[in-house]
């Protein structure tokens, strides 16, 4: 094979392909990522000032993110595919069972990483901007969160540029054995951001930005 052809092929490698190939190994096993759409079923999550339900936005972005990853030849496992909670109807503490089952899916799947999607809210309506959370004891989680945070800022250009933040109390961050981050896509308590978060084109931009950050993180490994 000529040197020119080899050079052309190297330039065609997309971000993330290096790590995908590395993790696939000889057997060409697909890289797997878990995408967790927070809340669902009887748990609406946050309710926006425009009436939007967090659970619906989470699921919509999760589906778009799944499609983005699949375009990169990555297998995606969704913790939920529709408006449902991960609990039995007769369970007394549905929230606890729901969180436990999400963690079971993640730990059983053993993905390269997990992305959990949520929406934020605050008593002061002017507060806005996406923010990524990671476990303070997870170096890989911190690296992943920082890269995603940077791409969200670069691609979405929010009016408030936040920094990725450590959190050691979120259940999903403490009970999963893989690099896991929680992406709070925006504040439903902020009218302008709440309206953006229900817009299909903005959700697509959000998913694309998260995907780009993940691929950059994977490519650095």
pLDDT in tens, 11-21: 333 444 445 54
Mean pLDDT score of the chain: 91
pLDDT at residue 3, as a whole number: 38
Per the domain annotation, does 10 fall within a domain?
Answer: no
Q: What is the pTM of this model?
A: 0.88
Count of C-beta atoms within a 10 Å radius of residue 49: 16
Give residue-wise pLDDT tens across range 51-91: 999 999 999 999 999 999 999 999 999 999 999 999 999 98
pLDDT at residue 29, as a whole number: 75
pLDDT at residue 123, as a whole number: 98
Residue % of the chain over a pLDDT of 70: 87
Give residue-wise pLDDT tens across range 182-205: 999 999 999 999 999 999 999 999
Per the domain annotation, does 59 fall within a domain?
Answer: yes
Q: How many independent structural domains does the chain possess?
A: 1
pLDDT at residue 28, as a whole number: 55
Q: Which domain holds residue 37?
A: 15-23+31-219
Per the domain annotation, does 95 fall within a domain?
Answer: yes
Give residue-wise pLDDT tens across range 25-47: 445 578 999 999 999 999 999 99
Per the domain annotation, does 54 fall within a domain?
Answer: yes
Q: Answer with the residue of higher pLDDT: 10 or 147.
A: 147
Nearest to 115 by CA among 22, 7, 207, 28: 207
- Judged against a pLDDT cut of 60, whether residue 10 lies above it is answered with no
Q: What is the mean pLDDT of residues 130-148?
A: 99
Per the domain annotation, does 6 fall within a domain?
Answer: no
Q: What is the CATH number of the domain that holds 211?
A: 3.40.630.40
Query: Any residues with CB less than 8 A from the CB of 155 and at least 6 apart, and which?
Result: 205, 208, 209, 212
Q: What is the mean pLDDT of residues 154-172?
A: 97
Nearest to 78 by CA among 101, 104, 59: 59
- Judged against a pLDDT cut of 90, whether residue 131 lies above it is answered with yes
Per the domain annotation, does 183 fall within a domain?
Answer: yes
Contact 216, 147 (CB under 8 A): yes
Per the domain annotation, does 127 fall within a domain?
Answer: yes
Residue % of the chain over a pLDDT of 90: 85
Per the domain annotation, does 19 fall within a domain?
Answer: yes
Nearest to 83 by CA among 51, 47, 59, 100: 59
Report CA-CA distances (Å) from 12 to 6, 29, 94, 202, 216.
10, 21, 48, 28, 15
Contact 130, 185 (CB under 8 A): yes
């Amino acid at each position: 094979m000529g040197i020119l052809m080899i050079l052309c092929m190297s330039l065609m490698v997309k971000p993330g392909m290096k790590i995908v190939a590395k993790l696939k190994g000889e057997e060409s096993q697909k890289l797997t990522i878990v995408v967790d759409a927070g809340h669902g079923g009887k748990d609406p999550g946050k309710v926006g000032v425009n009436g939007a339900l967090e659970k619906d936005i989470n699921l919509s972005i999760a589906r778009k993110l799944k499609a983005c990853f699949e375009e990169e030849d990555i297998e995606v496992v969704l913790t939920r595919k529709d408006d449902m909670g991960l609990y039995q109807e007769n369970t007394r503490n549905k929230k606890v069972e729901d969180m436990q089952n999400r963690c079971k899916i993640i730990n059983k799947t053993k993905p390269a990483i997990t992305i959990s999607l949520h929406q934020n809210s605050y008593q002061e309506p002017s507060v806005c901007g996406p923010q990524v959370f990671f476990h303070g004891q997870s170096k890989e989680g911190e690296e992943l969160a920082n890269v995603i945070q940077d791409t969200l800022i670069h691609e979405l250009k929010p009016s408030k540029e936040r920094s990725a933040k450590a959190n050691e109390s979120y259940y999903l961050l403490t009970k999963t054995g893989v690099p896991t981050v929680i992406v709070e896509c925006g504040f439903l308590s902020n009218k302008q951001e709440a309206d953006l978060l229900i817009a299909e084109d903005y959700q697509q931009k959000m998913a694309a930005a998260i995907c780009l950050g993940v691929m950059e993180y994977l490519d650095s490994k």
